[in-house]
Amino acid sequence: MKSSIAALIGGASTALAAVKGFNYAAQEQTRSAFEASFRTAAALEGTEDFTSARLYTMIQEGTANTPIEAIPAAIDTQTTLLLGLWTSSPQSTFDNEIVALKSAISQYGSAFADLVVGISVGSEDLYRISATGIANDPLGVGQTPDVLVNYIGQVRKAIEGTPLSGKPIGHVDTWNAFLNSSNSAVIAACDFLGLDEYPYFQTTDPNSIENGKELFFEAYDKVQAVAPGKQIWVTEAGWPTVGAKSGDAVASIDNAEIFWQDVACELEDRNIDFWWYILEDTGANPSFGVSQGGKPLYNLACNATSNSTSSHSTIGGNSTSPGSSTNSTSSGYQNGTASTSSTTRATGTGISASSSASATSGSGSGSGSSGSSATRSGSASSPSVSSYISGAGKVEGTIAGLVVAAIMAALAF
C-alpha cells in the first residue's frame, strides 16, 4: 500500500511540475550542437531540471523545408519542445513551415510527438507592426491579426489525425500587443499565450532592478485578465549581465542574479511554465546568457546555497519557506575568482528577453538572432534564421486533490 501511495504521489508530482527551459537559436546549429546545448542546460548547476527547449521555426537553417535538427537532438536527450513556426512571411513561405512540420511528424513519429508540449504559431509579429515596434525598428516585419488567425487554423488542420493532434496551439508576443483590443481574435484562436516580457527595456517606467519583479508580474496579470481561461506561458525573459543602461535598468551579473532569483524562482514557486533567455550569449551586447563555457555566471539555484560569481541573501517570496532568508556563498566560476558582493532583497518573479532596441512602452522588439546565443536584433529574420526552443504544458491542480484523497483513503485501512 505504501509503495502504491508513493507511486501515485510521484506521478502526480511529475504531472504538476512546470515546464522549464531555455530559448535556443537556429543559426549555425547542427544536431550535435543542439544536443550539446541541451545536455549543458540539464547539467548546469541550478538548472538541472531545465529540460525544455523553445523553437521559433520548424525549418533547418540552409534548407527550404527540412525539419530542424533540434528535433532528433531532443529525442536523443529527452528534451521537451515548444515548437515554433515563423509567421512574419507570406503564405508561400509559411507553406514551407507546414511542410517541415508534417515531415517531422512522418519522420520521427511518436518519439517526437511525445516530447512536444505545445506549438507556437509566430513570435512577436503583432508587436513588430505596433506603433512601439515600428518606432524601435521601422524595418521590422510583422504580421496582421487576420493572417495569424488563418495560420493558426492551418496548423490545426495540419496536425489533425497525427500524433500531434490535441497539442495546445498558441502565439507568442509582448504583453502590450496582447492588451491591444484589435488583436483579440488572435487570443480567441489560441489555446495558450506565450508572453515575452522584459522590464529591462521598459524605459518609460521606473525599471531599475528593484522594480523588475513588479513590472514583470504587472504585465503577466494584465495579459491573464484579457485572456480568461487561457494558459499564460512565459516564453522569454531575462536580465543582461553586460550592456548599456536602459532607462533606470543597469546590466550587471549582480542584477541578472537578482532578476533570476526574483522572477525565475517565483515562476517556479507558482508552477508557471517558462523558458528563460538565454543559456549562453557570449559576445552579445547586451548579453543575457546565464552561463559561459558550461559554468553558471551566477547562482541559479532557488533558495539554496550554490557556488556562483555573486552572492545574495533572499528574503521571503518562496512558497516552501516564506519569510526565511537564504544565503549563497560564491566561489566564482569565471577564471576561478570569487566574488565578494552580497545584497539583500525580497524575492519576486520576473523574466524578460533581450533586444537591441529599447521598447519605449513595451518589452520586446523582433526576434532576430545569430549564432547559438540568439541575441535579439529587434528585426524580423527569415524562418531558417530565427528559431528557439521551449516547451510548456501544465496539468491543473485536480491531480493534487486526487493524491490527497488517495492518501486519506489508504490511511483509513
Cβ-based neighbour number of residue 228 at 10 Å? 7
Q: Cell 548546469 belongs to which residue? A: 44
Longest dimension (CA), the chain: 70
| CA dist list (Å): 30 to 107, 323, 382 | 17, 46, 18
Please confirm, yes or no, whether 48 is among the known catalytic residues: no
Catalytic, out of 97, 124, 266, 280: 124
Give the number of other CB atoms < 10 A from CB of residue 383: 27
d(CA 269, CA 118): 22
Letter for the amino acid at 126?
L
Residue 226: which H helix or E strand, with range? helix 212-226
Tally Cβ neighbours within 10 Å of residue 226. 16
Residue 96 to residue 139: CA distance in whole angstroms: 23
Find the catalytic residue in 35, 61, 97, 236.
236
Angle at 391 between CA 387 and CA 394, to 5 degrees: 155
Catalytic residue flag (residue 236):
yes
Do residues 187 and 172 touch, judged by C-beta distance below 8 A? no
Would you state the cell numbers that stand for residue 42, as one nine-digit string? 540539464
Active site positions, annotated = 124, 236
